[in-house]
Amino acid sequence: MPETLMVGAVAYDAKVVPIWEGIREYFRDAPVEMDFVLFSNYEAQVDALLGGRIDVAWNTNLAYVRVHRATAGECRVLAMRDTDVEFFTLLVGRTGDLTSASELRDRTLALGSADSVQAAIMPVHYLRREGLEPDRDVRLLRFDSDVGKHGDTGRSEREALEAVLGATADAAAVGAVSWDTFVRAGEVPPGRLAPFWTSPAYSHCNFTALPSLQSDVADAWTAHLRAMDWTVPEQRRILELEGLRQWVGPQLDGYRDVFDAVDEQGIAARW
Amino acid sequence: MVNEPDTGSPAATFDAEDLDLAGGLTFVLDVLLSDVHAGEMIEITSRNAGLIHELPAWARGTGNELVATEPDGARWIHRIRRGERPSLMFRDRPELAVEVPDRRDGFGTRDWLIGSAARIPERADPSTGFAPRGAEVEPGSPAFPFPLNDRDRVWAANVASLYDQATAQQWDASTDIRWDALPQLPNHLERAVAQVMTHLAENEYAALYVPARFIPRIHPHFTEVVLFLSTQITDEARHIEAFTKRALAGGGGLGRSAAITQQSLKSLLEQEDFSQASFLLSVLGEGAFLDYLSFVERFAPDPVTADIVRRARVDEARHVAFGVEHARYFLAADPDRAGVLRTAVEQRAAFLSQTSGATPHVEEALVILAAGGLRPGSLPDGVRAVRELHESMHRHRMGRLRSLGFDQQTAEAISELHTANFM
């Protein structure tokens, strides 16, 4: 049994350092301790996991799909945030304008980064379900900023919303959690933007491990992770920063639509 | 989206009309939910279609539960249950209703002991930090390094009243003193006044710096003490200003400062225990200062000098009252603590015994002041007046010490050991 699990995470924001320092500290003297490595993008992190240089990756859903494909489905999901289960994408328009997704026909939809599942990949996927073929029935305006970070920075979603405010787009696709973050941070001007459509639920991030990771080690690490407690102030600080109240077990059904969307859109294993 | 019927009746309802979350509904929800217990429900009626899409992520992000969203004609009814793990982990609801004070004659600080603000702790919790006494503090707040967390180490029974007196009796040393009325005094008399003012000012620096050192050590839940000591500092600043200006105003200029004075004041500044420092500074030092200031007022050769020291004495009397009442509170918690106070005096005296006790330039100035000049016929009266000053200082010190419960012998010993420098 290795003494310390090496966990990878992507540094999409300065707060990532205190989050992982806090989690590492929480794991001090646990049955399985951990350390972490920060990557500048998910491709490098996935490569490091597949190459055995890290034991566990804190992955977005897209990064998870790639590991899943590369391991022929043998990889293991250890845990997710409660907020990763039933994740949604919202379509946001100008207040009083659009009331349904179908009204986007012949209008312009602003999308976030091409590698953002919430702000680009799933919106395209679900629009098709609504009977709208992107680029034919709906014009797409893409904001491919911070590519490699899978939309984690929120920058491309802000740009998409700006486009709606500036009337260069009629709607923007944003993650529901991002929208709530923007609203509660006072970044959304009152009364000018309104969400008008909520996507079906899908799953977001997870801790992914290779099948070669010993299961007793993985189980011990996961059990300690899931024991983090919102009511303990020092642990709550970390949970708040990472955007959850509780770590939960894997709920893999929620990734089915993500797999379908990646296949359907022919998204390459790397770019 | 959740659409479970729920039969529980809401603890609060609100018609949000067209309001969206960005337009302020988040704050409405925070207010309504902070007034109900975890598990209780609130009901929001809205005509805003966007809320259907916004509320699920809001509820999850704030640790609440969106139980149901039901259409109601052109409106929607959203039922939200307050969660067990809200964003801020307050233990209790804030007090919704407390008694209000009688404000007909203003709102005195001694009348602000209302509701939770009235709970003056015997031992304060370091992790309440700078939160005002009575405010609810979220668990997980950092512990502040206040060494003085015990009430009996700082408190005085009359401190709120003394604070109110202090704020009511502030004065302006630039404009409240009739500087234009200062007459031209004979040179040696003016220089004697200036020397006394120099001595008063340097003592007041100590009286400013000593409490200033302790304020950051006192837990803010003993706020009346902190506020009072802040007025003491302001008082001393004003006294330093007024005494210095008086030294300069008549052309006498600043006088001399003796090494013994500096040694004596330095030994005050080095006190590390608040109760000992307060005893040395306020009970013994400022107590002696009351006699000193009365003496200067009595023999002041001009109305400006008399006015300054009279005003200063009123302020100093508050400081003495605080010092005496703090010593009383400190001793009441444990009568054996009398030894702690006596030790402070003995240690300071031992330190000062290595120097000569005399401050002849100050004695000389006081004699000249009391004699009204250098006339041979008046000087013996001046000498006698200064001797009486020392006697009255001792007598008043004895009175204060005896009122604190020191026996005659101990009070005598403490009074005799007190510095010849007055402060």
**Mean pLDDT score, B150-166:** 97
Whether B230 and B346 map to the same domain: the answer is yes
The tokens describing B43, both together, are 């009901």
CATH number of the domain at B294, please. 1.10.620.20
Place of tokens 């009739």: B178
Burial category of A100 from C-beta neighbours within 10 Å (exposed 0-12, middle 13-18, buried 19 and up): exposed
Could you give the domains of chain A?
A: 4-84+203-264 (3.40.190.10), 89-198 (3.40.190.10)
User: Mean pLDDT across the stretch B45-71?
Assistant: 95
- B contact test, residue of A236, A237, A238, A241 with most B CBs within 10 A: A236
A243: alpha, beta or left? (left if phi > 0; alpha if psi -120 to 50): left
Q: Are residues B59 and B176 in the same domain?
A: no
Q: Is B88 among the domain residues?
A: no
Q: A195 to chain B nearest CA, in Å?
A: 5
Helix (H, G, I), strand (E, B) or coil at B150: strand
Choose the final residue of a domain: B59, B81, B103. Answer: B81
Quick one: pLDDT at residue B5? Answer: 45
What is the average pLDDT score of chain A? 95
**Phi, psi (deg, nearest 5) at residue A9:** -145, 155
Angle at which helices B223-249 and B159-168 pack, to 10 degrees? 40
Buried b (16+ CB within 10 A) or exposed e, A223-250: ebbeebebebeebbebbebbbbbebbeb
Is B156's pLDDT higher than 90? yes
* Residues 27-66, chain B, touching A (beta carbon < 8 A): 48-50, 52-54, 56-58, 60-61, 63
Tell me the average pLDDT of chain B: 92
Q: Which two tokens stand for residue A30?
A: 């646990």
What pLDDT shows up at residue B2?
44
Tell whether B140 is covered by a domain.
no
Phi, psi (deg, nearest 5) at residue B77: -115, 120
Both B59 and B171 in one domain: the answer is no
Backbone φ/ψ region at A147: left (φ over 0), alpha (ψ -120 to 50), beta: beta
Q: Which residue has the higher pLDDT, A90 or B4?
A: A90
Show which of B31, B61, B81 is a domain's final residue: B81
- b/e for B52-71, b at 16 or more Cβ within 10 A? bbbbbbbbbbbbbbbbbbee
Over range B51-63, report the average pLDDT. 94
Query: Average pLDDT of A72-92?
Result: 96
* Domain of B170, in residue numbers: 151-417
Find how far residue A243's CA is from the centre of its chain. 11
* Sign, Cα dihedral of B408, B414, B419, B422: negative
Which among A190, A231, A237 has the least Cβ separation from residue B20? A190
Choose the closest CB to B54 out of A83, A186, A195.
A195
Average pLDDT for residues B391-418, to the nearest whole number? 93
* Residue B1 predicted with pLDDT over 70: no
Each residue's pLDDT tens digit, B339-391: 999 999 998 888 777 665 668 889 999 999 999 999 999 999 999 999 999 99
Q: From B81, B97, B124, give the residue that closes a domain.
A: B81
Nearest by CB: B20 against A186, A194, A236: A194
Residue type, B95: E
pLDDT at B7 over 60: no
Same domain, B309 and B230: yes
pLDDT of residue B158: 94
ipTM: 0.91
A194:B139 CB<8 A = no
Give chain A positions within 8 Å (CB) of B56: 88, 176, 198
| B374 residue type, one letter | L
Query: In this complex, how many residue pairs, one in chain A and one in chain B, have their CB atoms less than 8 Å apart?
Result: 78
DSSP string, B233-281: HHHHHHHHHHHHHHHHHTS-------HHHHHHHHHHHT---HHHHHIII
Give the global pTM.
Answer: 0.83
| H helix count then E strand count, chain A | 9, 11
Task: Name which of A9-23, A184-198, B102-116, B169-183 the model is least confident about.
Answer: B102-116
Within a domain: B67: yes
A85-139 per-position pLDDT tens digit:
999 999 999 999 999 999 999 999 999 999 999 999 999 999 999 999 999 999 9
Residue of B nearest to A183 (CA): B22
B38 vs A68: CA distance, rounded Å: 41
The average pLDDT across B53-72 equals: 95
Amino acid code (one letter) for A248: V
